Amino acid sequence: MKPAALKLVLIAAMALSAGACSKNDAPVPPVAAAAITASSYDTVAASAKGFTVGAMMSAQPVYVLFDPQCPHCGHLWNAAQPLLNKVKFVWVPIAFNSGKSLAQAAALLAAGNPAQAMTEHEKLLLSGSGGMAASSSIPPEIEQAIKANTQLLNALGVDSVPFILAKNRRTGEVVSNNGALETPALARLLGLDL
Q: How does pLDDT run along the chain (194 residues), one tens digit per residue?
A: 444 433 333 333 333 345 778 765 544 444 444 468 889 999 999 999 999 999 999 888 999 999 999 999 999 999 999 999 999 999 999 998 767 999 999 999 999 999 999 999 999 999 999 999 999 999 999 999 999 999 999 999 998 999 999 999 999 999 999 999 999 999 999 999 88
Distance separating alpha carbons of residues 181 and 161, to the nearest angstrom: 12
Whole-number pLDDT of residue 26 = 47
Question: CB-based burial of residue 38 (10 Å sphere; 0-12 exposed, 13-18 middle, 19+ buried)?
Answer: exposed
Q: Are 17 and 141 in contact (CB under 8 A)?
A: no
26: three-class secondary structure by DSSP: coil
Whole-number pLDDT of residue 142 = 97
Give all domains of the chain, ordered by start, each with its CATH number. 33-190 (3.40.30.10)
Q: At what angle do helices 140-155 and 100-110 cross, to 10 degrees?
A: 110
Q: Are 78 and 106 in contact (CB under 8 A)?
A: no
pTM of the model: 0.84
